[in-house]
Amino acid sequence: MLPSHKTKIVCTIGPASSSPEVMEKMIRAGMNVARLNMSHGSFESHRSVVSALRAAARAAGARVAIMADLPGPKVRIGTIAPEPVVLRADSSFVLTTEEITGDATRATVNLERLPEVVKKGDILYLNDGVIQLEVSSVRGREVLCRVVVGGELRSRKGLNFPGIDLGVSAFTERDLECLAFAASEGIDAVSQSFVQSAADLHTLRKAADALGYRPFIIAKIERSIALDHIEEILAATDGVMIGRGDLGQEAPIERIAVIQKELTHKANQRAKPVITATQMLQSMTHNARPTRAEVTDVSNAILDGTDCVMLSEESAMGEYPVEAVAMLSKIAAAVEPRRGMVGVKEMYPGLGRNRSLKPFHLVAIGVEASLEYASPAAIFAPTQSGTTARGLAVFRPSVWIVAVSTEERTCQQLAFSYGVLPVHEKDYPDDWKSYARNWVAANGIEGDIAVLVEGPSAKHPDANHRMEIIGLGGL
């Protein structure tokens, strides 16, 4: 049975969703990708989740990719006791690199370089932006601050540095340990937290290569400094995640919607899958129904061109993880038909004038015309790496892109791309007409024709781009 929605759904697995029964229900409700937050839990607990996820996917008869979310250099305060404490506006607060038990006047920070990277007048944020600090002075291992906006503070809360280069790599020693675990478990994708430049992704990819591991790499855009390097980041990554939580502390909150739209469009143009994350259905952590604003947020992300929508706390810690997945499925199924296909010239303005046409663009124009005038049943895209299927997905065709691959790894990684239905075959069909006719009939799709799109591959780099119209019986 075909899914009801083409937008892919990413779900964070946590205490609320780690049982095999709940995971199977989430898969049946529409989960396409399971996210493991490596900032929490042991490798042993994650190993159990991986095993249970794969068993649940088999039971549900569905393909589910697994993504390991690497912690990155998350800057946090240390222990506070007793907690919580309340920081008052205009009071003093000290951040120190010394290991202490914090209170309402001071706290440890897990960044040794803290006194080197901040200066008088810098604005810092604690506890997801609830608390705002202004640096008054730096003294030895201490950073003296004035509380601009106060609030409640507990142990291990995050500290954000908008626009400040921390001088540390996003890929840490802990990330290397997590990467080695992901490699040993054959996890499909890894997401790198707090990416600042392409160098962070090159470091990650080099470490993966050394392990003989080729995961799909997702760059998490959470720091404002990443926005200054977004072109090089997009060139170096396989996909992006728009982490609106930390990004909302790093960039002006009133600009987050615009930044989200711009990032989505830039990634679409490069055929790099986009995950929109953070607080998509936050109220469903404790409520059985989302707010209207949340439904609108999810809908607009889909209309803007996101490939995936993601649940975090809603599925990891919430009371309604299955219902939250089902709600995303319903929203996507209702919104997608309203979006319509994106034209080739709309996606790539100036194509043919100040931007040269490539062979793939010409094929895509042919696919666009066939969808407008002939209503094919499906698009078939044999692919080794997934490139052809991802390239077609950016135009958001109204029919499924059936990505047929002999590579299981490619099929798993295509779980991140909108409207792509990966199908693993040991060998490519000799007769695509029979294959397409049988697939369409088996899935109950009506239509007189199908479209076949092929391009060069690593095995056949000199092959031509081609599009073929396949008659299914009525043409």
At the topology level, CATH places domain 85-160 in: M1 Pyruvate Kinase; Domain 3 (2.40.33)
**Which residues, including other chains, have CB under 8 Å from residue 87's CB and lie 6 or more apart?**
93, 104, 126, 131, 147, 150, 151, 153
Whole-number pLDDT of residue 475:
43
Kindly report the CATH class assigned to 8-72+169-338: alpha beta
Whole-number pLDDT of residue 179:
98
CB neighbours (10 Å) of residue 408?
13
Whole-number pLDDT of residue 355:
62
Mean pLDDT of the chain: 94
Whole-number pLDDT of residue 167:
83
Residue corresponding to tokens 């490539």: 358
Q: Does residue 408 register a pLDDT over 70?
A: yes
Q: What is the arithmetic mean of pLDDT over 193-203?
A: 96
Q: What is the arithmetic mean of pLDDT over 249-271?
A: 94
Whole-number pLDDT of residue 267:
98
State what percent of residues in the chain have pLDDT above 70: 98
Whole-number pLDDT of residue 77:
95
Q: Does residue 165 register a pLDDT over 90?
A: no
* Residues with active-site annotation: 35, 76, 220, 278
Whole-number pLDDT of residue 353:
62
Q: What is the rounded distance in angstroms from the CA atom of residue 445 to the CA atom of residue 233?
A: 39
Residue corresponding to tokens 């229900």: 25
**Which residues, including other chains, have CB under 8 Å from residue 350's CB and lie 6 or more apart?**
none
Average the pLDDT over each of 75-89, 264-278, 395-409, 448-462 and give the range with the smallest value. 448-462
**Torsion angle (degrees, nearest 10) of CA 380, 384, 275, 237:** -150
Whole-number pLDDT of residue 359:
85
pLDDT interval class at 352 (50, 70, 90): low
Any idea what DSSP says for residue 461?
T
- pLDDT per position as a tens digit, 366-380: 999 999 999 899 999
> What is the residue extent of each domain of the chain?
8-72+169-338, 85-160, 344-471
Closest CA to 259 of 237, 283, 280, 243: 243
Q: What is the arithmetic mean of pLDDT over 77-82?
A: 94
CATH number of 344-471: 3.40.1380.20
Which tokens go with 361? 């663009």
Instruction: State the alpha helices, DSSP H only, in 305-406.
Output: 313-316, 321-339, 344-347, 359-373, 387-393
Average the pLDDT over each of 181-185, 260-264, 357-361 and give the range with the smallest value. 357-361
pLDDT interval class at 163 (50, 70, 90): confident
* Positive or negative torsion for Cα 404, 410, 411, 413: negative
Q: What is the arithmetic mean of pLDDT over 44-59?
A: 97
Average the pLDDT over each of 181-185, 332-336, 362-366 and give the range with the smallest value. 362-366
- pLDDT per position as a tens digit, 100-122: 999 999 999 999 999 999 999 99
